[in-house]
Amino acid sequence: MLPKVTFAHLPTQVEALPRLTKLLGGPQLIIKRDDQTGLAFGGNKTRKLEYLMGAALEEGAAMVCTTGAAQSNHCRQTAAAAARCGIECTLVLVGPEPDQPTANLFLDQLLGAKIIWTDQTRRDRTLEKVFQEAGEAGMNPYLIPYGGSNAIGAYAYYQAFQELREQLDNNMPDWIVFASSSGGTQAGLLAGVLSIDSKVKILGISVDEPTALLKDHILTIIEDLNSQAALGIRFKEGNILVNDDYTGKGYGVINDRDIDAIHSFGETEGILLDPVYTGRAAGGMLDLIRKGVFKRDEQVLFWHTGGTPALFADKYLPFIY
């Protein structure tokens, strides 16, 4: 068992989506509410951070550092987890520093994180420099990877799949669909499926990465997870299902399909999606439903990975509303 700090509100609820199901004429839609994991507006990274912070504290870290976009949900939750654990947090964020912080960035500052700005080409070098300087200062820093997506983070979603099995009393859906980007969530869920030889199909809707690259990320993580956690699962690349048809013009560039999905979930079920991850994944899922990819008598679970604060970022408000 990997070391763990407990702060997530678990288990998250599984809810039916009857009005959205009726609007689409099937399949039966349900949702797993990992937007409600309880740490600074929640999200899927909270599960991962229970184990990542557990590892950091076990190593005696006085500081964690990580990286992401200016409106990173992962960075917001990392800052909150560090505050909860009483250690410092430095975030290396990509992009120009805005004049006025909003949404996730505002929360990063409210949660006490130190923020360093860089561009995409220098992101990894800047993060490494922050890590080295913290080490030289005696902070014994712990480096959390982009998206919290490594074997430790993925283990949280291996456990999340077991949680779902218990909630549904093993009456599992035919499909689990969600936003996939850095690969950790998908690797963990797939490991859970393979551990019991389940027939559930795990479909990641890519937010930004081409299928081949994202599959490589997931394969690397699941191999590491299988080894480190001694899961003993057997897998092959064909188990990894990724759809990159909905990446549009790239990460964080909202489009009409994303907006339609956000409004559809809000207006039929009172559920808020975000403009970068869940809005894009839901947009892809709704399009696949309309194209008949899922059978009308199947059950599809949409795993809500959070991100709600990004709804209030200046760059998205004019398009969503």
Catalytic sites, residue numbers: 72
- Dihedral of CA atoms 92, 93, 97, 102 in degrees, nearest 10, equals -120
Q: Phi and psi at residue 302, in whole multiples of 5°?
A: -95, 120
Contact (CB, 8 A) for 217 and 183: yes
Asked if 95 contacts 118 with a C-beta cutoff of 8 angstroms, the reply is no
Find the Cα–Cα–Cα–Cα dihedral 268, 271, 272, 278, rounded to 10°: -90
3-state secondary structure of 7: coil
Strand partners, 117: 93
Contact 88, 192 (CB under 8 A): no
Residues in contact with 38: Cβ distance below 8 Å, sequence separation at least 6, in sequence order: 7, 8, 9, 46
Please give the Cα distance from 67 to 119 (Å, whole number). Answer: 11
Rg of the chain over Cα atoms, rounded to whole angstroms, equals 19
Task: Report the first-to-last Cα separation within the chain, whole angstroms.
Answer: 46
Burial 50-77 (b: 16+ CB within 10 A, else e): bbbbbbbbeeebbbbbbbbbbbbbbbbb
- Written as six digits, the tokens of 24 are 């689409």
In whole angstroms, give the CA distance from residue 64 to residue 264.
Answer: 38
**Which residues, 6+ apart, have CB-to-CB distance to 284 below 8 Å?**
177, 205, 243, 245, 246, 257
Lookup result for tokens 């679970």: 301
